[in-house]
Structure 1
Amino acid sequence: MDDYLKDDIQHLIKRIRDFLSTKVSEFLNTQDLQTIWGSVAIVVAVIFTWRLLLAPNEPQRRVPKRQAPTPSGSNSQPSSNLLPSGIGSCVQDSSQTTNEPIKLTLGQKVRQRLSDGRKVTCRLLGIILEESTPEELQNQATVRSSVMEVVMEMNKFCNLYLMETVLDDESEKRVLTALENAGIFLSGGLVKDKVLFCSTEIGRTSFVRQLEPDWHIDSSREINSQLARFIKCQLHISPIHTERLASNVFNSSSLEQFFGV
């Protein structure tokens, strides 16, 4: 309220007070009933006028309460202090991913892709070995150099079993020699007892079911199909793109490609 308004109110009050004094004197002298009601009406008018003059200032005292931040404000910027728990950090992580992609190590990629699966069984032919049939193993066994780093990381993190179908004992020896020369037993830390051999595809399927791994990796579509009901997750390796056998069977052209190498 400014000074001019205060002066006007004080002047009005003074005039009303003088008027009331005059009327009260007349009342005391004449005791006129009309004068009594007139005085009451004047008092009510004074109170009403006073409240009316003060009314414009009341909203100013309530303004701060009306300025609470609302999520619908088009010009307001979101504040992490006003967001629910966890939202702010999500927004921050999203911006970091966009501007500065997080570079994962191969070990971190292996853990991420396998969803922390702790036991893995993996076929050799067509995945770790260059050869793709048991007949080829009767002549030679060659380890794919590009896959060795992935296999070693898998063995560090998982309880890894390698297995293959062979036609004779000589093929088995060739495979073990090739793995040993590649350093999988020494540098990779894998023990020979975890390299399993069988004479039929049914035998390999039986190995997997007995071990009950979290993941099985195979290049045989038929075996992946048979195990889909029993194994939590599978990876089908094939250079030819095929449809997924089931929701828990993933496809990849190679083991390296699956882990982003």
Structure 2
Amino acid sequence: MASSGGSGEDDASKLDLFHLIKRFGAYVTFKIGDLFSLSFNNLDIRTIGAVAGLAVAIVFTWRLLRSPNDAQGRQRKRQGATSSNTGAGTHSNASVVPSEACLPSDESRAQNVVDEFFQPVKPSLGQIVRQKLSEGRKVTCRLLGVILEESTPEELQKQATVRSSVLEVLLEVTKFCDLYLMERVLDDESEKRVLVALEEAGVFTSGGLVKDKVLFSSTENGRSSFVRQLEPDWHIDTNHEIVSQLARFIKYQLHISPYKTERAAANVFSAPSLELFFGSV
């Protein structure tokens, strides 16, 4: 009778473990689905590391789940041997606590291990820039209203101020892309003010942007002509008319405007500022 009871307990334990593993498997499958919902074209070193580490997490969790059940099995055997020596009455009093009592604790531990491993990792600004620019390698961008606080050429005759909030994004773009800045100015002094402001802001210290890539023209059409000659992957501008004119020639454009405007074309995106487009503020 004792061996029959022990066999029944082992079968119940195996059934409990089976259901636990089944639930855990469904949980991990859900997590894997979230991970691989990303496009393989956008996988980076962190994502690949997460995939590689998944195997480690599964093995670790399996060992964590198996250990309590192994210990319970050994405990049942020792108690079964003791009960066979002390009689049926004692065997009844020494019955093992049902495995269901420890099931919630085991499942909770398993979920905690997986949750800890799959904590969302916030992508770096550099990763966001590459993703948002769709791997584009050449970018042209106007200065007024995007990089500079000023919004008209007349203001540049008095001062030029680099927007502090855009600096981090600008430097990340220069690391990844061949960036050209351009603007319409009314005199040579305005050009000098702009170059001095960019230099003092540290734009030229990263090595990705040099003064020769800051272009000036006397007309808005001159800026449009620069863009067409350079043939960038992206052009960033505040002038809706220029954006509309260039839509046929440039792969992607970003229209910077504080107001929501009608989309010029399917390949034209819009945002209130450059930093907001990349989500850095």
TM-score range, shorter chain: 0.5 to 0.7
Which of 33, 39, 43 is the aligned partner of 1:90?
33
Give 4+ residue runs of structure 1 displaced > 6 Å after superposition: 76-80
Corresponding residue of 1:220: 239
Match of 2:252 in 1: 233
Look at both structures and tell me which one has the larger radius of gyration over its CA atoms. 1
How far apart, in 1, do the equivalents of 2:203 and 2:127 lie?
20
Taking structure 2 as the reference length, the TM-score comes to 0.59
Does structure 1 conserve the Cα–Cα contact (< 8 Å) formed by 2:178 and 2:208? no
SS of alignment partner, residue 120 of structure 1: strand
Correspondence 1:117-156 to 2 at 5 A: 117-156=136-175
Please give the alpha-carbon distance, in whole angstroms, between the structure 1 residues aligned to 2:264 and 2:25.
Answer: 47
Alignment match of 1:176 (pick from 195, 205, 208): 195
Counterpart CA distance in 1 for 2:179 and 2:34 is 38
Q: Does the residue aligned with 1:217 lie in a helix, a strand or coil?
A: strand
* TM-score calculated relative to the size of structure 1: 0.64
Name the counterpart of 2:220.
Answer: 201
**Separation in structure 2 between the aligned mates of residue 124 and residue 165 of structure 1, nearest angstrom:** 9
Aligned-residue offset at 1:180: 0.5
- Aligned equivalents of 1:117, 1:208: Cα separation in 2: 15
Match of 2:183 among 155, 158, 164: 164
The AA in structure 2 aligned to 1:90 is G
Amino acid at match of 1:238: S
Q: What residue number does 2:121 align with?
A: 102
Are the counterparts in 2 of residues 185 and 191 from structure 1 also a CA contact under 8 Å?
yes
Unpaired segments of 5 or more residues in structure 1? Answer: 1-75
The alpha carbon displacement at 1:100 in A equals 3.4
Does the Cα contact within 8 Å between 1:152 and 1:188 map onto a contact in 2? no
The 2-side partners of 1:150 and 1:118 are apart by 15
Partner of 1:22: none
Distance in 1 between residues matched to 2:148 and 2:198, nearest whole Å: 9
Using the TM superposition, give the Cα deviation of residue 241 of structure 1 relative to its aligned residue in structure 2, in angstroms.
Answer: 1.4
Asked whether the equivalents of residues 165 and 198 of structure 1 are also in contact (C-alpha less than 8 Å), the reply is: yes
Larger helix percent: 2
**2:240–2:255 CA contact under 8 A, matched in 1:** yes
Q: Give the root-mean-square deviation of aligned CA atoms.
A: 2.5
Q: Distance in 2 between matches of 1:231 and 1:122?
A: 13
Change (3 A) 1:90 1:197: same
Q: Deviation at 1:243?
A: 2.0
Letter of the structure 2 residue corresponding to residue 204 of structure 1: R
- 1:79–1:153 CA distance, 2 compared to 1 (3 A): same
Partners of 1:200 and 1:159 lie apart in 2 by 24
Deviation per CA, 1:7-61: give whole Å up to 9, x if none: xxxxxxxxxxxxxxxxxxxxxxxxxxxxxxxxxxxxxxxxxxxxxxxxxxxxxxx
Q: In the TM superposition, what is the alpha-carbon distance from 1:242 to its structure 2 partner?
A: 1.3
Secondary structure in structure 1 of the residue aligned to 2:179: strand
2:58 matches 1:115: no
* Alignment-derived partner of residue 273 in structure 2: 254
> Percent identity, aligned pairs only?
70
Paired with 1:192 and 1:145, the residues of 2 have a C-alpha distance of 19
Cα distance in structure 2, aligned partners of 1:211 and 1:154: 17
Amino acid at match of 1:226: Q
Aligned counterparts of 2:170 and 2:273: Cα–Cα separation in 1: 12
Aligned equivalents of 2:145, 2:31: Cα separation in 1: 46
Deviation at 1:234, TM superposition (A): 0.1
The alignment partner of 1:135 has SS state of helix
Structure-2 separation of matches of 1:223 and 1:152: 25
